[in-house]
Every structure is written in structure tokens, then in C-alpha cells.
């Protein structure tokens, strides 16, 4: 019988870095097979109010993308067997360069990327950059997209 995989989501650095690390460790020890770690973003349009609030609170502390990647690297170093999927938004990937961002994410231990505003039909080279760096891109499809 195949085991159903459990993927758990958390916002890097929320509510504090130490408490977020404790939450990640607890999720894994509690049975999470995969972690989806979201980098805080100033306008998380695909998220509901709880995640929007969490992102805002983390960013108010001056949290940067590099802090989020360091957070992921810490979790990956403690639990290398647990795949980590990074959830973020296109501008955080596009601004430093898609290839550069993917290289840094892979070095931090990311196995896959979930970038909802870089859909499969306009991903700015994300799928290719992920593949080049040993990751997968998990495209997000919305009913409003053309075929």
C-alpha cells in the first residue's frame, strides 16, 4: 500500500526565526514528509489573510530573501532527507535573475519551486533554470489561464 505524503506549509521567519525553526522541526517530527516554505513577500496576492499577515509581520522586521534562504539551509542541514519546496512570487525570483535565484535556492537545499505568478506558459525560464540546478518547477494553473 502506498503511503499518502503529507506536505506542510510555513512562512520563513514567522513569527520569529527561532519559533519558525521550532515549527518546522515539529512538523517534520510530527510526520510531514515535505515542507513547503514560503519566502515572505510584500503582496502575496495568491494567499489568504493569515499568510498575508504572517508575511507582513516578518517583513516589518527587515527580513530579506537571503534570510529566508538561510532559514531553508538550516532546516535542510538538520533534515536532509525531507524535500523542501520553496513557495514565493515572481519578483523575488526575477529581480536577482532567475538562474541566479535558482542556483542559490538549490545550494540552500530546495528541491522544487512553487511560484504562482510565473505560470507554465510564461515562466521567464524558471523550469529550465530549476532543471539545470537539480530542482523541479511545480507550475500553478488557474482557471483564468489560456490553454
Determine which one of 18, 33, 43, 47 is catalytic. 47
Q: Is 124 a catalytic residue?
A: no
Q: Is 117 a catalytic residue?
A: no
Determine which one of 18, 33, 36, 43 is catalytic. 36
d(CA 102, CA 22): 26
Question: What is the three-state SS of the chain?
Answer: CCCCCCEEEEECCCCCHHHHHHHHHHHHHCCCCEEEEECCCCCCCCCCHHHHHHHHHHHHCCCCHHHHHHHHHHHHHHCCCCCEEEECCHHHHHCCCHHHHHHHHHHHCEEEEECCCCCCCCCCCHHHHHHHCCCEECCCCCCCCCC
- The catalytic residue positions are 36, 47
Amino acid at each position: 500500500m502506498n503511503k499518502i505524503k503529507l506536505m506542510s506549509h510555513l512562512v520563513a521567519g514567522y513569527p520569529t526565526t527561532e519559533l519558525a525553526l521550532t515549527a518546522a522541526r515539529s512538523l517534520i517530527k510530527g510526520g510531514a514528509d515535505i515542507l513547503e516554505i514560503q519566502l515572505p513577500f510584500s503582496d502575496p496576492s495568491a494567499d489568504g489573510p493569515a499568510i498575508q499577515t504572517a508575511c507582513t509581520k516578518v517583513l516589518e522586521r527587515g527580513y530579506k530573501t537571503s534570510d529566508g534562504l538561510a532559514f531553508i539551509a538550516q532546516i535542510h542541514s538538520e533534515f536532509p532527507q525531507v524535500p523542501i519546496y520553496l513557495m514565493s512570487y515572481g519578483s523575488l525570483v526575477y529581480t536577482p535573475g532567475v538562474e541566479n535565484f535558482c542556483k542559490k535556492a538549490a545550494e540552500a537545499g530546495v528541491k522544487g519551486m512553487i511560484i504562482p505568478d510565473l505560470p507554465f506558459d510564461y515562466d521567464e525560464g524558471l523550469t529550465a533554470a530549476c532543471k539545470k540546478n537539480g530542482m523541479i518547477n511545480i507550475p500553478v494553473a488557474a482557471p483564468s489561464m489560456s490553454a
